[in-house]
Chains A and B, each alone.
Chain A
Amino acid sequence: MEIGFDYTRSLGPVLSRFMTALAERRILGCRGSDGRVHAPPLEYDPVTYAPLTELVEVGPAGTVVTWTWLDRPLDGQPLDRPFGWALIRLDGADTAMLHAVDAGSKDRMRTGMRVRVRWAPEPVGHIRDIACFEPLTDSPPTLPGPTAEPVTMVTTPIHLRYRHTTSTEESRYLRGLAEGKVIGQRCPSCGKVYVPPRGACPTCGVPTVDDVELPDRGTVTTFCVVNVPFPGQRIPPPYVVAYVLLDGADIPFQHLILGCRPDEVRMGMRVAAVWRPREQWGTTPQNIDHFQPSGEPDAPFNSYAQHL
C-alpha cells in the first residue's frame, strides 16, 4: 500500500527568516542566552527556554566534526551516489548540522576536513536549498543570491510505502473471498461469530479456531449517507455506508449499499451481496462490489438492537 500527503509547515518568525535567507543563498544561526550560536537556528533557548530572536549569518564553509560513509544511498537522500553523512559545524556556529558531503570516495573524508555548501540551482526558501556540502577547494565561492520575498510556509511531502503481512486468519478470510465465500470464526468461549476473523476473541481473550462460513446476506443495522468529498476518497459521493450484520454473525461490518436511492436505505433493511464478475475476483473484500436490497421484509429492531 502507498499513502502520501503534502504536509505544510508554517514557520513562525525564526524559521521564516532562516528559510528566507536560504532563498538568498545565506545561512542563519541564532545566538542563545549563553552566547552559543545554534545553526540551524532554534526557536527557543535550550537553557532559559526564552524565545530566541538574534539571528547571525554563519558558513557557508564549515568543519566536519564527525562522519560516516554511505555506499548505497536510498531514494530521497541528498545524493544518488555514495556520500559521507557528516556533522558539520559551520563557521561562526557552535553547534553542528547533519548533512551529506559529496566527497567522491570514503578516502577523501576525514574529521576536521573543511567543506562548503553546494547550493541547489534554484533556491526557493526550503531546507533542500542546501543541496549538500563539498570539500573546500580553491575554486571561487558561490555568490549570494538575490533578495528573496519572505518565506513563511514550506511544503513537506511525506509518503509511506508498506506491505501488510496478513495473519493466518486474515489470510483464510481473504482466500475465502477469492472463492466467493465469507469466512468468519466462532469464539469457543462466548460463541460469538467474528467476521473478518481475528484469531482471538477480544472479550474472552481466547484463540478462535472454528471457521464458520457465513451467507452473503444480512441486515443493515445502521448507516450514514456520505455527501462530503475529501482527498483520497475512493468512491464519489453521495453514497451510503452501512453496517451490515451478516446472518449468523455477531459483529457488523461496513459496506456500500447501492441498488436503491440513498433515502430508501433504512435501519433493519435486508440486503444481499452483489459480487463482481468472477474473473475479477482477487483476495480482497472488494470482490463484493456492494450490497443491495434483497426484497425481504425488514428485520425487527430487536433482532439487531444489541449490535448498534
Chain B
Amino acid sequence: MNSAITTRAAVLGTGQTEHRTRRTDVSMAGLCREAIDRALADAGIEWSDVDAVVLGKAPDLFEGVMMPELFLADALGATGRPLLRVHTAGSVGGSTAIVASQLVQAGVHRRVLAVAFEKQSESNAMWALSIQPPFTMPVGAGAGGYFAPHIRSYIRRSGAPPHVGAMVAVKDRRNGALNPHAHLRQPGITLESVNASPMLWDPIRYDETCPSSDGACAIVIGDEAAAEASDRQVAWIHATAMRTEPTYFAGKDHVNPRAGYEAARALWRAAGITDPLEQIDAAEIYVPFSWFEPMWLENLGFAAPGEGWKLTEAGETGIGGALPVNPSGGVMCSNPIGASGLLRFAEAAMQVMGRAGEHQVEGARTALGHAYGGGSQFFAMWVVGTAPV
C-alpha cells in the first residue's frame, strides 16, 4: 500500500474547539471555523495556502443534516477547491486525517485541510443509534447497550479485576483537567466516586462512559516542501493504516477484532516499529468506555491478549508511565463523535510537536493516534514523529 507514496507528509498545525455539552453560541459552521482558524494559525498559513479540504462527519442522523459538506462549503473554505467528505462512523475523524495525508503523499496537493465535527446537542445519538430494521428485536440501547456485553466478555476472558474500568476513568478525567479544551475536567475524581456513580448499562457505570459533546477539530497536512517551509516543529507522518470488517459475522471477535489487529500490525510494520510498548512514547486511543483502554492495548499489540489490564492497573498508562494513554483525557473527557477520531490524531501530533501544554508527555518523539467506529467495524490509526522517517 505504501508503494504509492511519492512524498513524505507532515502535520503542520492543529486546532480544536472548546468542547462542551452545548455550544449554543455557534452554528455548525461557526463550530468548524473555531477549529479551522486555530489550525491555520498553528500551521502559520493563510487560506490561500490551502489546496483542498476533507470533511469528516459521523452518521447524518446524528444531526439530521443530509450532506453537511454541501451547506458548510463556504465556512470550510471549500469554494474553488476540491472538497471530499469521509464517512466511517465513529472512526471518521481518523479516516479523514488519513485521506488528507494520502492526498499529500500521493503528490496531488501540497497542503490539505482536514476538518471533523459533531454537534451532539442538536440531536440525540442514543435515539439515532437505536433505530433498527424490522427483522430484529427492538432492544438497541445506544452505543453503551451495544458495547456493554462485549466489555463483559472482555472481563470474563481476561480475568481483569472490576476496578480496572474505574482506574481508567479516574486517570482520563484527571488528564482532562490538564487540557483546557476538554469538556469534562474532573481533577477531584476518585475510584470511590466512579464506583458510586449509577450503573447505566451493567457493567458500565456513568463515570465510565464518555460525555456527549459539541466540538470540532482541524489539522493542516503538508508535503515535505511545506513542512520545510514551516518555521515551527511539524509532526511527520510515519505510517497510516485503515482496516474494515463486518459488524456481525460468525466468528467475529468483539473483544479483539481482527480488523483492528491487522491494521495495527500493518501500521507497526510500515512505521518500522518492532516493539510498540518500547517505541511509542504517547498514545491517543479511542476509548469511549473506560474498559476499552485495556481491550485496545491488546488489540494494538501493546500487550498480549488478556494482559492489557495489567498495564493499566500498574499505572503504566498514566502520564509518566511506560505508555501514557490519552494524556489529553481522550474520548472519556470530550466526545464530539465525528471529531473524536481526528482529536486523537491531532493530539498525537501535538505530543510530538511539543505543543500539548500541561498534558505534554515529556520527550515524546513518536506517538500513536487511533480511532474505531461502527460496531468495532472501522479502524484507522497513524504514527507521527518529531523527526521524518
Contact = CB atoms under 8 A, between A and B. Distances in A.
Interface in A266-308: 267, 284-286, 288, 301, 305-308
B110 to A, nearest CB: 18
B74 A10 contact: no
Interface residues of A, number: 72
Contacts of B253: 308
Nearest to B141: A226
Q: Which 6 A-B pairs have the closest CB atoms?
A: A224-B148, A12-B27, A225-B202, A250-B250, A192-B250, A308-B153
A119 to B, nearest CB: 24
Q: Which of B24, B26, B139 has the most CB of A within 10 A?
A: B139
A118 interface: no
- Band of interface residues on B: 35 or more
Nearest to B136: A285
A154 to B, nearest CB: 10
Contacts of A221: 149, 153
Contacts of A173: 135
Given A49-B47, A164-B133, A230-B130, A225 B124 contact: no
Given A44-B33, A202-B249, A254 B203 contact: no
A interface, by DSSP: helix, strand, loop or mixed?
mixed
Nearest to B206: A228
Contacts of B251: 192, 203, 250, 306-307
Given A7-B64, A12-B29, A153 B152 contact: no
Given A5-B124, A10-B26, A227-B200, A46 B141 contact: no
Nearest to B23: A10
Given A224-B148, A228-B201, A285 B27 contact: no
B137 A5 contact: no
Contacts of B198: 227
Interface string A121-161: 00000000000000000000000000000001100101000
B249 A230 contact: no
Given A43-B29, A44-B29, A202-B249, A241 B135 contact: no
A184 B92 CA distance: 34
Interface in A227-259: 227-228, 230-235, 239, 241-243, 250-251, 253-256
Interface string A1-43: 1010101111111110000000000000000000000000011
Nearest to A286: B137
B126 interface: yes
B138 interface: yes
Contacts of A82: none
B156 A256 contact: no
Contacts of A88: none
A145 B241 CA distance: 58
A3 B252 CA distance: 30
B142 A230 contact: yes
B163 interface: no
B25 interface: yes
Nearest to A50: B47
B249 A8 contact: no
B24 A230 contact: no
B318 interface: no
B122 interface: yes
A234 B127 CA distance: 11
Chain B binding surface SS class: loop
A243 B149 contact: yes
A174 interface: yes
B77 to A, nearest CB: 4
A222 B124 contact: no
Contacts of A301: 156
Given A42-B74, A46-B79, A224 B126 contact: no
B249 to A, nearest CB: 4
Nearest to B249: A202
B26 A232 contact: no
Contacts of B33: 44, 51
B254 A308 contact: yes
Given A8-B121, A10-B25, A250-B251, A49 B135 contact: no
Contact of B202 (A45, A48, A224, A254): A224
Nearest to A220: B149
A45 B78 CA distance: 11
Given A5-B127, A164-B133, A203-B251, A10 B145 contact: no
A83 interface: no
A207 interface: no
B5 interface: no
Nearest to A8: B122
27 contacts: A10-B22, A10-B26, A10-B27, A10-B121, A10-B122, A11-B27, A12-B29, A43-B27, A44-B29, A46-B74, A153-B24, A156-B64, A173-B135, A174-B135, A224-B152, A224-B203, A227-B201, A228-B144, A228-B201, A232-B127, A235-B139, A250-B250, A253-B136, A256-B137, A267-B156, A307-B250, A308-B254
B198 to A, nearest CB: 7
B21 to A, nearest CB: 12
Residue among A223, A227, A286 facing the most chain B CB atoms (10 A cut-off):
A227
B64 A158 contact: yes
B387 to A, nearest CB: 33
B45 to A, nearest CB: 13
Nearest to B199: A227
Contacts of B144: 224, 228
Most buried by A among B27, B119, B128, B203: B27
B153 A241 contact: no
A77 interface: no
Contacts of B357: none
